[in-house]
């Protein structure tokens, strides 16, 4: 199972704890994880990716193994420890403001 950590605003919307687990078949990519996330939690559709463009929202970031994957292709395969569930994929609301 893939582990995904959601920011607080999305936990509230999805009525979940911080971490959710998803069954995502290989190859595990950002796009596949987000597709599956929206299938399991339809109320999150459009919150991570824009409804119309399907592009990542500007103030949302993805981290895997401590590295920023926000600007990687959504179809690029994620590291094996993310795919194996050893480490979670972090979806982060960017810190902004003071």
Partner 1 sequence: MSSVRVLVGTRKGAFILSADGNRTDWAVEGPLFAGWEIFHMKGSPVDPDRIYASQCSDWFGQVIQRSSDGGKTWEQPGTPAGEEPSAENKEPSADNKEPSPEGPPTIGESNKFAYDTSAETGKPLTTHQWYDGTQHPWEFKRVWHLEPSLTDADEVYAGVEDAALFRSGDGAESWQEVAGLRGHGTGPSWQPGAGGMCLHTIVLVPDQPNKIFTAISAAGAFRTDDGGLTWQPINKGLRSEYIPEPEAEVGHCVHKLALHPAKPEVIYMQKHWDVMRSDDGGDSWREVSGNLPSDFGFPIDVHAHDPDTVYVVPIKSDSERYPPDGKLRVYRSRSGGDDWEPLTNGLPQQNCYVNVLRDAMAVDRLDDCGIYFGTTGGQVYVSPDGGDTWQTIARDLPAVLSVEVQTLP
- The residues binding partner 1 (CB under 8 A) are 1, 7-10, 12-13, 20-25, 31-33, 35-36, 38-43, 45-48, 50-52, 57, 59-60, 93-94, 96
> Closest separation between CB of residue 7 and partner 1, Å?
7
Q: How far is the CB of 12 from partner 1 (least distance, A)?
A: 7
CA triplet 93, 94, 98: central angle to 5 degrees? Answer: 120
Rg, the chain, Cα only: 12
The closest of 27, 43, 34, 48 to 4, measured between CA atoms, is: 34
Q: Nearer Cβ to partner 1, position 47 or 88?
A: 47
Residues recorded for the chain? 98
């Amino acid at each position: 199972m893939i582990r995904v950590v959601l920011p607080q605003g999305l936990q509230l919307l999805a009525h979940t704890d911080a971490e959710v687990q998803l069954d995502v078949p290989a190859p595990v990519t950002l796009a596949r994880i987000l597709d599956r996330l929206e299938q399991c939690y339809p109320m999150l559709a459009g919150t991570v990716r824009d409804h119309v463009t399907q592009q990542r929202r500007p103030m949302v970031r993805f981290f895997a193994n401590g590295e920023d994957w926000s600007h990687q292709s959504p179809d690029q395969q994620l590291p094996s420890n993310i795919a194996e569930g050893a480490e979670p994929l972090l979806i982060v609301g960017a810190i902004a403001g003071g």
